[in-house]
Amino acid sequence: METKKLNNGVLIPCIGFGTYKTTVDDGYTVILNAIKAGYRHLDTAAIYNNEEEVGRAVRESAVPREEFFITSKLNRNRLGYESTKAEFEESLRKLGMDYMDLYLIHWPRSDYGRDDYDSWEDLDRETWRAMEELLKEGKVRAIGVSNFLPHHLDNLLKNANVVPALNQLELHPGYLQEEAVEYCREKGIALEAWSPIGRARIMKYPLLVEMAAKYGVSVAHLCLIFGLQNDFIILPKSTHVESMEENLVSGDITISDEDMDLIRSMPEAGWSGEHPDRETVK
């Protein structure tokens, strides 16, 4: 599988398996099926409540641990120096692993006030200090963020010794967050797309329907190809083996430069409604 080199030299597979909401019924089986389909990059988070299932599937897959790239994320309500350390160890315990490949701050702001920190800015910086220590201790191979916009990253980098390796953002046709993308590229921060296919209404968008027919693929597959050609790491998710397998071959077709520009010029569509500044701390 094609990989991308992060800013610290660590290689990450360009296609990962997103586990959010894919493990509601029988998470272990879904993840094991994804591994059997060929996925080695698995994305989870504390808030997903499936780290134990991810770890079990990895252990019982008979695939060596070193062949996997495992990402988890810090719960937004566990931001802070001490709580970050504790939450990381809990996630590691649930995964049943002695290291992670990538650990991310899930959101830049908590959804409730904190008496021990004066502001979200202080909270984020202290969280990052703990993340840097986890990296230095060899407990994680790379550290990064999720849903961070330029002003969140500016705050983090004021005191940072380590530039985030990756920023996981909602990125798909109709929602490209161009300012954040350009900022990350200037700083050498890799971009990872959660929800790379967008929401259901994207599937019926006339331009995408027309393009998909032109290239002989589904609209979903077209969106994944588009993400890869934009140099995004993508995290498709599915509970169906056929879709899992199809998503892994998303790089087999090339969209022309002209068609890429047409897709990039789409008006906003398919946005989840999630915004990192909606939640505030005092």
Active site residues: 48
Nearest C-alpha neighbor of 232 from the set 277, 186, 170, 149: 170
Rounded to whole angstroms, the Cα distance separating 253 from 191 reads 21
For the residues of 191-260, what is the DSSP string, one character each? EEEESTT--GGGGG-HHHHHHHHHHTS-HHHHHHHHHHHTT-EE----S-HHHHHHHHTGGGS---HHHH
Rounded to whole angstroms, the Cα distance separating 34 from 64 reads 15
- On the CB side of 227, CA atoms within 13 Å amount to 36
Element containing residue 187 per DSSP (H, E): helix 178-187
Rounded to whole angstroms, the Cα distance separating 146 from 2 reads 22
Rounded to whole angstroms, the Cα distance separating 118 from 123 reads 8
For helices 219-229 and 257-264, what crossing angle results, to 10°?
Answer: 100
